[in-house]
Amino acid sequence: MADSALSSQRLHDVPDQLTTADGIPLKRKLAISMRRARWRAFLMTAPLVIFMLISFVLPIGQMLTRSVYNDSFSKALPNFSLALRDWDQSASSDGLPDEALFKLLAEDMAVARKDRTIGRAATRINYDHSGTRSLFMGAARKAKNFEAPYKETFLDLKPKWSNVEMWAAMKRVASDTTTGFYLAAVDRTYDVNNDVVEQAEVRQIYVKLFWRTLYLAGVITVLCFLLAYPVAYLLSVLPLAKSNLLMILVLLPFWTSLLVRTTAWIALLQTEGIVNDVLVWLGIISDDGRVQMIYNQMGTIIAMTHILLPFMVLPLYSVMKTIPPSYMRAARSLGANQFTAFVKVYFPQTIPGIAAGTLLVFILAIGYYITPALVGGQDGQLISNIIAFHMQKSLNWSLAAALGSILLAGVLILYWLYNKLIGIDNLKFG
């Protein structure tokens, strides 16, 4: 302790005495040149960092915003929304707003119908309280001719306008920011008292889908591991000329288009496909008893295992390559049988490779979209597929963004873990 204090003291003293030719203390000169070098390194990286911030980080950030921000209701019905935000539901005896608010609603609806924005507002409230879209559209069609008393007019038009739960939902969607889409993404919703409750049983689909995604990704990761381990071992012990030849069999699928491989699996696995033909020819199954191997979970598992297998083989191989074969020989000569030597000596040394491979395959698997979309059928779909569905078909973009954010959070945690355990710099291909 004293020693190191002394030496650091001495180091501290030295630069005061040493100066460069232009009279600047050496220590300062060094600091300046270090800073310049750091700047130079940073400036070389800067163009790409800026590029990535604009083309990647910003878009994803914007998507995250959309998961909590949705102004389609307040934009279509501005005055009504503003008033509704301040309305206190518990103040009135029947839980419904007063005449003034109904009047604003009628006026805003008439304008929104003319501007053709009423559909968006109706869709937005429908997300929170299903079955209200037609109610809204119906009232908007007639809103132009509504007269006082407005409240009665609405209630006469459809008794559903007195539904307090719907009014609670409307108060929620009148504000532009909401946690509602995150709640929907985990099968929860608000009740009339603004308490979080579980969604009706039939509408609980997303949690199940998240679990299924984790389960399928897990199955695929385990299968990849089981298939990759023996192959990686063989590649690592064979002489270079032979292993290079076999390595091509791993690298060719790796370089082949995802769609080509998915196409191939459709050709192989469909009911009239090659695998079924072979099974019939071998007499294992009858011609009428052809097995459905595709457009279901099995299709997703088989095709994705094939597609992700090289991502498991390559890290395993690069770790196994560095394990000296003499360790196994030493274990054997000390009396361990093949099995013990493998379990106690070889296997533990491959764990870094296993961690790298399984994490990488799992991370890639939970985000897969194309292959499940093509060969997954109904029950082989992953969470990405439902995100794409909400983006392209149901157009509930905020829900898609909320589901996407949850998936992203999961992936980033795994990515952080990967970086911590393996180091992202160690990622290699081929």
Partner 1 sequence: MALPAHATPVEKVWHYAYLVICALIFVFLIVPIIIIVPLSFNAEPYFTFTEGMLGFESDAYSTRWYQDIFKNGMLNPEAPLSWAWFSDAWNNAQWIRATRNSFFIATISTIVATTLGTLAALGLSRPEMPARSLITGLLISPMIVPLVITATGMFFFYSDIGLAKTYTGVILAHATLGIPFVIITVTATLSSFDTSLIRASASCGATPTTTFFKIIMPLILPGMISGALFAFITSLDEVVVMLFVADVEQRTIPRQMFSGLREQISPTILAVATVLVIISIGLLTTVELLRRRSERLRGLSPG
- Near partner 1 in 229-258, by CB under 8 A: 230-231, 234, 237-238, 240, 246, 248-253, 255-258
Q: Which tokens sit at 344?
A: 């106690």
Q: Which tokens sit at 218?
A: 């897990």
Task: Enumerate residues 286-305 that contact partner 1 by CB under 8 A.
Answer: none
Spatial contact of 135 and 160, defined as CB atoms under 8 Å apart: yes
Instruction: Please tell me the distance from the alpha carbon of residue 88 to that of residue 96, in angstroms, as a whole number.
Output: 9
CB neighbour list of residue 73: distance below 8 Å, 6 or more residues apart = 81, 120, 121, 124, 125, 170, 173, 174
Task: Enumerate residues 31-70 that contact partner 1 by CB under 8 A.
Answer: 34, 37-38, 40-49, 51-52, 55-63, 66
Question: Taking contact as CB under 8 A, which single stretch among the options 74-82, 137-145, 165-173, 306-314 is the one that binds partner 1?
Answer: 306-314
What are φ and ψ of residue 247, in 5° steps?
-60, -30
Q: Least distance to partner 1 from the beta carbon of 379, Å?
A: 18
**Quick check: 261 binds partner 1 (CB under 8 A)?**
yes
Of residues 131, 149, 289, 430, which one binds partner 1 by CB under 8 A? Answer: 430
188-190 and 196-198 as β-strands: parallel, antiparallel, unpaired? Answer: antiparallel
How many residues touch partner 1 (CB under 8 A)?
A: 93
Q: Least distance to partner 1 from the beta carbon of 368, Å?
A: 8
CA dihedral over 407, 410, 413, 419, signed as positive or negative: negative
Task: Enumerate residues 383-412 that contact partner 1 by CB under 8 A.
Answer: 384, 387-388, 391-392, 397, 400-401, 404, 407-408, 411-412
**Quick check: 272 binds partner 1 (CB under 8 A)?**
yes
Nearer to partner 1 (CB atom), residue 155 or residue 280? 280
Task: Enumerate residues 320-349 that contact partner 1 by CB under 8 A.
Answer: 338
Instruction: Using alpha carbons, list the distances in angstroms from residue 254 to 225, 314, 382.
Output: 16, 10, 22
Q: Least distance to partner 1 from the beta carbon of 339, Å?
A: 9
- Residue 377, exposed/middle/buried by CB under 10 A (0-12, 13-18, 19+)? middle
Task: Enumerate residues 89-128 that contact partner 1 by CB under 8 A.
Answer: none
Nearer to partner 1 (CB atom), residue 150 or residue 265? 265
Task: Enumerate residues 365-384 that contact partner 1 by CB under 8 A.
Answer: 366-370, 373-374, 384
Side-chain-side CA neighbours of 102 within 13 Å: the count stands at 19
Q: Least distance to partner 1 from the beta carbon of 44, Å?
A: 3
**Quick check: 219 binds partner 1 (CB under 8 A)?**
no
Instruction: Please tell me the distance from the alpha carbon of residue 310 to that of residue 317, in angstroms, as a whole number.
Output: 10
